[in-house]
Structure 1
Amino acid sequence: MHSAYYRLGDDLYAERFGLGFEHLSAGQRFVHRPGITFSQQDNVAEALDSINSAMVHYDDCYAGLTDWKRPLMVSTLTLQRLIGMTSKTFGRRRRIVSMSSIALIRPMFGGDTLYVETEVLATEPVDAHLGRASLLTRGYNQRGEQVAELRYVAELWHGAAGPDVIAGASASDEERFLSHARREDGAWVEQTGLFFEDLRQGETFVHSPRKTLLAEEATLHALRAMEWQPQSHDHAFAQALGLAAPVVPQTWGIGVAVALSTRTFGRVTVNLGWTDVEFGADLMPGDTLEARSMVEGTRLSGSRPDQGVVTVLTEARNQRGEMVNRYRRALMVYRRGANPYARAGY
Structure 2
Amino acid sequence: MSKFGYVRVGPRRFRERFGLSFEDVELGMRIRHRPGVDVSQQDNRDDSVELLNNAHLHYDSQYAAHTEWRRPLSVSTMTVQRFLALVSRSWYRRRAIIGIDSISLTRPVIGDDTLYSESTVTALDGGADPDVGRVSLDIAGKNRQGDTVARISCTFEVYRRGRHPEDDPQALPAEEERFSLYHVAADGALVEQTGLVFEDLAPEETFVHWPGRTVLADESRRQALRSLEINPRWHDEAYLRKYAQIKPTIYEPLVIGVVTALTTRTFGRVVANLGWTDIALPRPVRPGETIYAESTVRTVRASNSRPDQGIATVETRGFVENGDLVCQYQRALLIYRRGAGPYQDAGY
TM interval, short-chain normalised: over 0.9
Against the structure 1 CA distance between its residues 159 and 245, is the aligned structure 2 distance closer, same or farther, given a 3 Å change threshold?
farther
User: How far apart, in 2, do the equivalents of 1:291 and 1:41 lie?
Assistant: 31
Report how far residue 244 of structure 1 moved.
8.8
Structure 2 residue matching 1:289: 3-state secondary structure: strand
Q: Match for residue 284 of structure 1?
A: 286
Indicate the residue corresponding to 1:326 in structure 2.
Answer: 328
Tell me the SS of whatever aligns to 1:285.
coil
* 1:236 positional shift: 3.3
Aligned 8 A contact 2:233 2:246 in 1: no
User: Aligned partner of 2:250: which letter?
Assistant: V
CA–CA separation in structure 2 for the residues paired with 1:112 and 1:95:
29
Q: Which residue of 2 aligns with 1:52?
A: 53
**CA offset at residue 167 of structure 1?**
4.9
Using the alignment, how far apart are the partners of 2:210 and 2:124 within structure 1?
27
Could you say what secondary structure the match of 2:233 adopts? helix
Change (3 A) 1:167 1:220: farther
Displacement of 1:237: 2.6
> Which residues of 2 match residues 256-335 of structure 1 at below 5 A?
256-335=258-337
Match of 2:93 in 1: 92
Aligned partner of 2:295: which letter? Answer: S
Aligned to 1:176: 178
Counterpart CA distance in 1 for 2:81 and 2:47 is 11
For 1:136, the equivalent position in structure 2 comes to 138
Point out the more displaced range, 51-60 or 234-243.
234-243
How far 1:245 sits from its partner (Å)?
A: 6.1
Partner of 2:42 in structure 1? 41
Q: Indicate if the aligned counterparts of 1:114 and 1:142 stay in contact, CA closer than 8 A.
A: yes
Aligned-partner SS, 1:90: coil
The SS at the match of 2:89 is: helix
CA distance 1:106–1:244, change in 2 (3 Å) = farther
Counterpart of 1:269, as a letter, is V
Distance 1:18 1:227 in 2: 39
Deviation at 1:113, TM superposition (A): 1.1
Give deviations 1:97-156, integer Å, cap 9, x for gaps: 010000000000112111110000111124221111001000111111110000001112
1:241 deviates by 4.4
Q: How far off is 1:76 after superposition?
A: 0.7
Taking the aligned partners of 1:112 and 1:123, their CA distance within structure 2 comes to 33
Q: 1:293 to 1:241 in 2, by over 3 A?
A: farther
Secondary structure of the residue aligned to 1:292 is strand
Q: Which residue matches 2:103?
A: 102
CA distance in structure 1 between the aligned counterparts of 2:146 and 2:125, rounded to whole angstroms: 32
Query: 1:231-264 deviations in whole A, cap 9, x for unaligned?
Result: 1122233344446963211111010001001110
Which residue of structure 1 lines up, in the alignment, with residue 17 of structure 2? 16
Q: Does 1:111 align with 2:115?
A: no
Q: 1:254 to 1:154 in 2, by over 3 A?
A: same
Cα distance 1:298–1:73, how it changes in 2: closer, same or farther (>3 A)?
Answer: same
Which residue number in structure 1 is paired with residue 196 of structure 2?
Answer: 194
Cα shift at 1:298: 0.6
Q: Which residue of 2 aligns with 1:222?
A: 224
Task: Name the counterpart of 1:82.
Answer: 83
* Superposition CA RMSD, Å: 1.3
Q: 2:33 — aligned with what?
A: 32
Letter in 2 for 1:70: R
1:120 alignment partner in structure 2: 121
Comparing 238-247 with 67-76, greater Cα deviation is found at 238-247
CA distance in 1, matches of 2:235, 2:247: 8
Post-superposition shift, 1:165?
2.0
2:338 counterpart SS class: coil
Q: What TM-score do you get using the length of structure 1 for normalisation?
A: 0.97
Is the CA contact 1:47–1:57 (under 8 Å) kept in the aligned structure 2? yes
Q: Does the CA contact (< 8 Å) of 1:235 and 1:245 recur in 2?
A: no
Distance in 2 separating the partners of 1:169 and 1:236: 48
CA distance in structure 1 between the aligned counterparts of 2:44 and 2:24, rounded to whole angstroms: 36
How many residues get paired? 346
Contact 2:206-2:295 at 8 Å conserved across structures: yes
Contact 2:94–2:157 (8 Å) recurs in 1: yes
